[in-house]
Structure 1
Amino acid sequence: MDVLNNIEISPVWAGHPVGFDLLTHKGRQFVAFYDHDRKMTVGQRSLKESRFELLSLEGRWLENRGRLSTNIEWDTHNSITMTIDRNDHIHLCGNMHVDPLIYFRTSRPLDVRSFERIDCMVGKNEDRCTYPRFMSGPGGKLVFRYRDGMSGNGVDYYNVYDEGSQSWTRLVDIPILHGMDLMNAYARQPELGPDNQYHMVWMWRDTGDCATNHDISYATSQDLVNWSAGDGSNLPLPITVKASASIIDPVPPGGGLINMCQSLGFDSTHRPVVSYHKNDEDGFTQAYVARLEEGNWKIQKLSDWDYHWDFSGGGSIGAEIRLGGVETREEGFLAMTWWHARKGSGIWKISESTLQVVGSYPEPKPELPAELLKVGSGFPGMSVRTASGRGDADGTRHLLRWETLGANRDRPRDEIPLPSDLVLYEINP
Structure 2
Amino acid sequence: MIIVPIRLRGSRQAIRLLLAASVGVGFGAPAAAQGTLPPAAGVAMDRPPVLSAIDRVWAGQTSRFALAVTDTMIFVAYYDANRQMTVASRPRRGIEWVYHKVDSWLGWDSHNYIALAVDAVGQLHVAGNMHADPLVYYRTRVPGDVRSLTRQTVMANAAAERSVTYPVFLTGADGRLVFKYRDGRSGNGNEVYDVYDAAAQRWSPLLARPLTNGEGRRNAYFMGPVLGPDKIFHIAWVWRESPMAETNHDLSYARSRDLIHWTRSDGTPLALPITASTAEIVDPVPVEGGMINNNTIVGFDHQGRVMITYHKFDAAGDTQVFVERREAKGWHVAQVSDWTGFRWDFRGGGSLDSRLRVGGAVPVGHDEIRISVVRDGKPIDFFLDPTLKTLRETPGTTLAEQLAGNGIPVPATMELNTVEDPGGSGIAIAWPTLPPHRDQAAQTIPEPTILRLVELAPSR
CA distance in structure 2 between the aligned counterparts of 1:362 and 1:423, rounded to whole angstroms: 27
Amino acid across the alignment from 1:260: N
CA distance in structure 2 between the aligned counterparts of 1:357 and 1:364, rounded to whole angstroms: 19
> Is the CA contact (8 Å cut-off) linking 2:313 and 2:319 kept in structure 1?
yes
Q: Secondary structure at the match of 1:125?
A: helix
**CA distance 1:28–1:330, change in 2 (3 Å):** closer
Q: 2:439 aligned to 402, 410, 416, which one?
A: 410
What's the CA shift for 1:51? Answer: 2.6
What's the CA shift for 1:260? Answer: 2.1
TM-score with structure 2 length normalisation?
0.85
Work out which of the two has the higher radius of gyration on C-alpha atoms and give 1 or 2: 1
> Is the CA contact (8 Å cut-off) linking 2:48 and 2:406 kept in structure 1?
no
Q: Secondary structure at the match of 2:320?
A: strand
What's the CA shift for 1:376? Answer: 3.9
Amino acid across the alignment from 1:278: K
**Is the counterpart of residue 134 in structure 1 residue 169 in structure 2?**
yes
Listed one character per residue, the Cα deviations across residues 221-269 of structure 1 (whole Å, up to 9, x for unaligned) are 111111111232221100011015x110000110011012111111222
What's the counterpart of residue 146 of structure 2?
112
Q: Which runs of 5+ in 2 are unaligned?
A: 1-45
What's the counterpart of residue 11 of structure 1?
56
> Is the CA contact (8 Å cut-off) linking 1:2 and 1:428 kept in structure 2?
no
CA distance in structure 1 between the aligned counterparts of 2:396 and 2:140, rounded to whole angstroms: 42
Amino acid across the alignment from 2:430: R
Amino acid across the alignment from 2:143: P
Q: Secondary structure at the match of 1:211?
A: helix
What's the counterpart of residue 315 of structure 1?
350
Q: 1:230 aligned to 239, 245, 265, which one?
A: 265
CA distance in structure 1 between the aligned counterparts of 2:435 and 2:404, rounded to whole angstroms: 20
What's the counterpart of residue 52 of structure 1?
97
Percent of counterpart pairs with the same letter? 37
Q: Aligned-pair RMSD on alpha carbons? A: 1.8
What's the CA shift for 1:361? Answer: 6.0
What's the counterpart of residue 251 of structure 1?
285
What's the CA shift for 1:346? Answer: 2.2
**CA distance 1:125–1:365, change in 2 (3 Å):** closer
Listed one character per residue, the Cα deviations across residues 139-160 of structure 1 (whole Å, up to 9, x for unaligned) are 1111100000000000000000
What's the CA shift for 1:170? Answer: 0.5
CA distance in structure 2 between the aligned counterparts of 1:145 and 1:414, rounded to whole angstroms: 35
> Is the CA contact (8 Å cut-off) linking 2:222 and 2:294 kept in structure 1?
no
What's the counterpart of residue 420 of structure 1?
449
What's the CA shift for 1:371? Answer: 3.0
Q: Which runs of 5+ in 1 are unaligned?
A: 59-69
**CA distance 1:275–1:198, change in 2 (3 Å):** same
CA distance in structure 2 between the aligned counterparts of 1:207 and 1:365, rounded to whole angstroms: 32
CA distance in structure 1 between the aligned counterparts of 2:270 and 2:187, rounded to whole angstroms: 22
Q: 2:130 aligned to 96, 99, 108, which one?
A: 96
What's the counterpart of residue 72 of structure 2?
27
Counterparts of residues 16-415 of structure 1 (less than 5 Å):
16-58=61-103, 70-122=104-156, 123-244=158-279, 246-306=280-340, 307-341=342-376, 344-353=378-387, 355-360=388-393, 363=396, 366=399, 368-372=402-406, 375-377=409-411, 380-389=412-421, 391=423, 393=425, 397-415=426-444
What's the CA shift for 1:386? Answer: 1.6
CA distance in structure 2 between the aligned counterparts of 1:384 and 1:325, rounded to whole angstroms: 21
Listed one character per residue, the Cα deviations across residues 177-236 of structure 1 (whole Å, up to 9, x for unaligned) are 111111000001211111111111111000000000000100011111111112322211
What's the CA shift for 1:295? Answer: 4.8
CA distance in structure 1 between the aligned counterparts of 2:257 and 2:53, rounded to whole angstroms: 43
Aligned residues between the structures: 410
TM-score with structure 1 length normalisation?
0.91
Amino acid across the alignment from 1:17: T
**CA distance 1:254–1:41, change in 2 (3 Å):** same
Q: Secondary structure at the match of 1:74?
A: coil
Listed one character per residue, the Cα deviations across residues 330-365 of structure 1 (whole Å, up to 9, x for unaligned) are 3332111122118x4322121112x11022467468
What's the CA shift for 1:372? Answer: 4.0
CA distance in structure 1 between the aligned counterparts of 2:50 and 2:324, rounded to whole angstroms: 42
| Greater relative contact order structure (CA < 8 Å, 6+ sep) | 2
> Is the CA contact (8 Å cut-off) linking 2:220 and 2:237 kept in structure 1?
yes
Q: Which moved more, 1:3-12 or 1:212-221?
A: 3-12
Q: Secondary structure at the match of 1:98?
A: strand
Listed one character per residue, the Cα deviations across residues 73-105 of structure 1 (whole Å, up to 9, x for unaligned) are 001111111101111100000000000000000
CA distance in structure 1 between the aligned counterparts of 2:430 and 2:271, rounded to whole angstroms: 44
Q: Which moved more, 1:42-51 or 1:138-147?
A: 42-51
Listed one character per residue, the Cα deviations across residues 280-320 of structure 1 (whole Å, up to 9, x for unaligned) are 11111111011112252111111121211110100001111
